[in-house]
Amino acid sequence: MKYLKNFGAEFRKNKPLFSMIAPAFILTLVLSYIPMVGLILAFKEWNFAGGVFGSKWNGLANFRFLFASGKGWLITRNTILYNLLNLVTSQALAIVLSIFITEIRAKYFKKITQSLIFLPYFISWVLVGIFVFAIFNYETGMLNNLRASFGKEPYNIYQVPGIWPFLICAFNSWKWSGYNSVIYIAAITGVDQEIYEAAAIDGANIFQRIRHIMLPCIRPTVVTMLLLQIGRILRGDFEMFYQIVGSNGQLYDMTDVIDTYVFRSLTTSSNIGMTTAAAFYQSAVCFIVIIVVNAIVKKIDADYALF
Amino acid sequence: MAANTSGFEGASKIKNSPSSMIFYIIAYIVVAFMAIVCLVPFLIMVSGSFTAEKYITFHGFNIYPVEFSTSAYQIIFKNPATVAKAYGVSIYVTLLGTFLGLMITAATSYVLGRKDFKYRNKFSFFFYFTTLFNGGLVCTYIFFVRYLHLSNSLWAIILPGMFSVFNMLIMRTFVVGIPTALIESAKIDGAGEYRIFFSIILPLLKPGLATIGLFLALAYWNNWYNAMLFITDTDKFPLQYMLYNTLQKAEAMSRIAAQAGIVVADVPSNSLKMAMAVVATGPILIVYPFVQKYFVAGITIGSVKG
């Protein structure tokens, strides 16, 4: 009661400030919090007439159905493996690039290459999908064009599921390397220049400078990026998977992640209950993982914790 | 990008040993290679759009146009109704969304950046929590369509993109940089909170507004996902989603052909796809050199804040 009274007093005192924060508050409440209520559908048997509140409860049947078909495990495995693969490759590439870029001294070379590497961040995944088409499609793709000029048979990439993890990983790294290297370059150049110069004067060679100055500089950034990604361990980048893979059914075993599966179920079979169960499972696991990992990190070194 | 990457000039005075020479050679080669890998798809796109369809059918795409032709562009611009409409939708969504988003982000960041605002931690958590847990696609979809009736409304694209915690955190860094004394003295001079926000804070936030405005504009311009979920009326397709449709659906292609008065069988579909991609991406590629540095600044601040 006292709390409410305090809030009321504060509200009267700072009405303009509250009114300025109100739009974002209402927007978040309506667009993010209210839809969470819909998660109860994960425990209900959806019927269209009943909607969110009128449908009948059916316990854990939706979850059982999701995992009994084997589909639940498959998409969980794919999502986790893709996230780990993409995390390692994209961060490693960005770190290498940022170290090289900070060391390169030819001004125009540096400027132009940086601009080009940053460019993929600015385009939509739709355009990336068009690039995939232009390079890999069977009839007119650039890859088969090149193969033909070497007298080799055309290659139908859509019939080789095993190659797709590499392709997706390559495009992911390609799109994000510029963005991520901006972050790492900021971390490297954020250090006091004098330390670097002193090391150079003391005779530290480039490898010692990387080992003892640059890598320690980017360590906090690496940890932050890792934590952010671990908090999304069960979330797939829907736009990327959808645009790169498209609706090639024979690739689903290798490329289906929770997000693409949920989308497809929603648009085709309309098994709302099971689809919500998948979304609930995804959100809940991510939430628990990030809370636990963050708590552990906080214990080891509070500076690295996200919150 | 140059602003942040002045490098370590002091080091250049030191003589290079053979092993560090090898390091630099590798550095130049790797960076140049990556830059080329980033450039090539764009070259294929542009060259494909200017290549005669017959050549593409027989030989495939190339990084430079072997048989030059502008017929794909002629088809698009002969009756540009589809493209013009999509452009209109994209511009409308981008302008309105960016403006509203900027206002909301600036106001929220300002209030949360005010140290004398007692509930700022509670509100911050309220916003931050949505990045940890959410209802997911199905719940959002059902809620938008069934309860908010946003099918075929451009608000279904604008509303979800207006406010993000990431943008708010970046903007708050700019707000915190404004000296509190300024607000205090304005208060003493009798200015109200709204007055302070609009005539003192907003002008001082210009660099932050530019950065966040560009992040918002880019996200709106590139958005196709919300359009795919909520928009079925082809007149309301934004550019990127129209582009996706042209690539995926033969009917979308034949609509453009019909408007240009060509038989469907004669449509240069391969070069037309690339030409559409160029037309849809053109604005971004044109402004890119001028806005790059704002994005670098924004990303740098965002990464420092975590």
Q: Is the minimum CB–CB distance between B142 and chain A shorter than 8 Å?
A: yes
Q: Is the minimum CB–CB distance between B20 and chain A shorter than 8 Å?
A: yes
Contact A193 B17 (CB under 8 A): no
Percent of chain A with pLDDT over 70: 100
Q: Which of residues 105-134 of A touch B (CB under 8 A)?
A: 105-106, 109-127, 129-131, 133-134
With H, G, I as helix, E, B as strand and everything else as coil, classify residue B190.
Answer: coil
Domain co-membership, B87 together with B122 = yes
Q: What is the pLDDT of residue A228?
A: 86
d(CA B205, CA B223): 26
CA distances to A85, A171, A301, B32 from A88, in Å: 5, 14, 22, 22
Domain co-membership, B58 together with B119 = no
Instruction: Identify the H or E element spanning B267.
Output: none
Tokens of B185: 């003295």
DSSP B45-108: HHHHHTB-HHHHHHH---SS-SSB--HHHHHHHHSTHHHHHHHHHHHHHHHHHHHHHHHHHHHH
d(CA B30, CA B102): 39
Q: What is the pLDDT of residue B36?
A: 96
Contact B299 A109 (CB under 8 A): no
Domain total for chain B? 2
Are residues B217 and B94 in contact, defined by beta-carbon separation less than 8 angstroms? yes
Q: What is the pLDDT of residue B16?
A: 62
With H, G, I as helix, E, B as strand and everything else as coil, classify residue B4.
Answer: helix
Are residues B136 and A279 in contact, defined by beta-carbon separation less than 8 angstroms? yes
Instruction: Please say whether the dihedral angle defined by the alpha carbons of residues A287, A293, A295 and A301, taken in this order, is positive or negative.
Output: negative
A179-188, A220-229, B11-20, B178-187: which range is least confident on average?
B11-20
Range of the structural domain that residue B22 is part of: 2-69
Mean of pLDDT values over A192-206: 82
Chain A residues inside the 8 Å CB shell of B11: 196-197, 200, 209
Of A5 and B26, the one with more pLDDT: B26
Among B55, B134, B153, pick the best mutation site for testing chain A contact (most A Cβ within 10 A): B134
Chain A residues inside the 8 Å CB shell of B295: 118, 121, 182
Mean of pLDDT values over A209-232: 88
Domain co-membership, B143 together with B276 = yes
Tokens of B295: 């994005």
Q: Domain boundary residue among B50, B69, B88?
A: B69
What is the CA A4 to chain-centroid distance, rounded? Answer: 40
Nearest to B8 among A27, A52, A196 (CB): A196
Nearest to B4 among A27, A123, A185 (CB): A185
Q: Is the minimum CB–CB distance between A142 and chain B shorter than 8 Å?
A: yes
Contact B136 A283 (CB under 8 A): yes
Any idea how long chain A is? 307
Tokens of A255: 């490329």
Domain co-membership, B59 together with B81 = no
We report the CATH number of the domain holding residue B294 as 1.10.3720.10
Domain co-membership, B128 together with B265 = yes
d(CA B303, CA A46): 42
Domain co-membership, B119 together with B22 = no
Q: Domain boundary residue among B69, B85, B114?
A: B69
Q: What is the pLDDT of residue B77?
A: 87
Q: What is the pLDDT of residue A139?
A: 83
SS3 of chain A: the string is CHHHHHHHHHHHHCHHHHHHHHHHHHHHHHHHHHHHHHHHHHHEECCCCCHHHHCEECCCHHHHHHHHCCHHHHHHHHHHHHHHHHHHHHHHHHHHHHHHHHHCCCHHHHHHHHHHHHHHHHCCHHHHHHHHHHHHCCCCCHHHHHHHHCCCCCCCHHHCHHHHHHHHHHHHHHHHHHHHHHHHHHHHHCCCHHHHHHHHHCCCCHHHHHHHHHHHHHHHHHHHHHHHHHCCCCCCCHHHHHHHHCCCHHHHHHHCCHHHHHHHHHHHHCCHHHHHHHHHHHHHHHHHHHHHHHHHHHHHCHHHCCC
Chain B residues inside the 8 Å CB shell of A238: 225
Are residues A262 and A280 in contact, defined by beta-carbon separation less than 8 angstroms? no
Instruction: Identify the H or E element spanning B12.
Output: none
Tokens of B57: 């059918």
A92-106, A256-270, B14-28, B266-280: which range is least confident on average?
B14-28
Q: What is the pLDDT of residue B306?
A: 46
Q: Which of residues 163-192 of A touch B (CB under 8 A)?
A: 174, 177-179, 182-183, 185-187, 189-190
Domain co-membership, B235 together with B99 = yes
Domain co-membership, B26 together with B146 = no
Work out the minimum CA distance from A39 to partner chain B, whole angstroms: 6
Q: Is the minimum CB–CB distance between A268 and chain B shorter than 8 Å?
A: no
d(CA A271, CA A52): 14
Chain A residues inside the 8 Å CB shell of B167: none
Contact B31 A117 (CB under 8 A): yes
Exposed (0-12), middle (13-18) or buried (19+): which is A165, by Cβ within 10 Å?
middle
Nearest to B141 among A118, A131, A266 (CB): A266
Q: What is the pLDDT of residue A17?
A: 92
What are the structural domains of chain A?
Answer: 2-57 (no CATH), 61-304 (1.10.3720.10)
Q: What is the pLDDT of residue A179?
A: 94
Work out the minimum CA distance from A162 to partner chain B, whole angstroms: 23
Domain co-membership, B111 together with B257 = yes
Q: Is the minimum CB–CB distance between A285 and chain B shorter than 8 Å?
A: no
What is the predicted ipTM? 0.91
d(CA B135, CA B147): 15
d(CA A46, CA A55): 5
The mean of the pLDDT values for chain A is 90
Domain co-membership, B17 together with B82 = no
Exposed (0-12), middle (13-18) or buried (19+): which is B67, by Cβ within 10 Å?
middle
The answer for residues whose C-beta is within 8 angstroms of residue B218's C-beta and 6 or more apart is A122, B284, B295
Q: Is the minimum CB–CB distance between A103 and chain B shorter than 8 Å?
A: yes
**DSSP conformation class of B199:** I
With H, G, I as helix, E, B as strand and everything else as coil, classify residue B297.
Answer: helix
Structure-token match 């003391």, residue found? A202
Given its phi and psi angles, is residue A51 left (phi above 0), alpha (psi -120 to 50 degrees) or beta? left
Chain B residues inside the 8 Å CB shell of A189: 4-7
Q: Domain boundary residue among B28, B47, B69?
A: B69
Domain co-membership, B48 together with B118 = no
Angle of the A164-189 helix axis to the A71-103 helix axis, nearest 10:
40
Work out the minimum CA distance from A42 to partner chain B, whole angstroms: 10
The answer for residues whose C-beta is within 8 angstroms of residue B164's C-beta and 6 or more apart is B105
Residues of chain B with pLDDT under 50: 1-14, 306
Identify which of A154, A178, A35, A152 has the alpha carbon closest to the alpha carbon of residue A97. Answer: A178
CA distances to A56, A154, A173, B37, B45 from A141, in Å: 51, 10, 21, 16, 12
Work out the minimum CA distance from B292 to partner chain A, whole angstroms: 8
B68 φ/ψ angles, rounded to the nearest 5 degrees: -70, 140
Domain co-membership, B155 together with B259 = yes
Work out the minimum CA distance from B130 to partner chain A, whole angstroms: 6
Of A87 and A2, the one with more pLDDT: A87
Q: What is the pLDDT of residue B13?
A: 47
Q: Give bridge partners of residue B277 from the DSSP assignment.
A: none
Contact B127 A28 (CB under 8 A): yes
d(CA B271, CA B276): 9
Are residues A123 and B288 in contact, defined by beta-carbon separation less than 8 angstroms? no
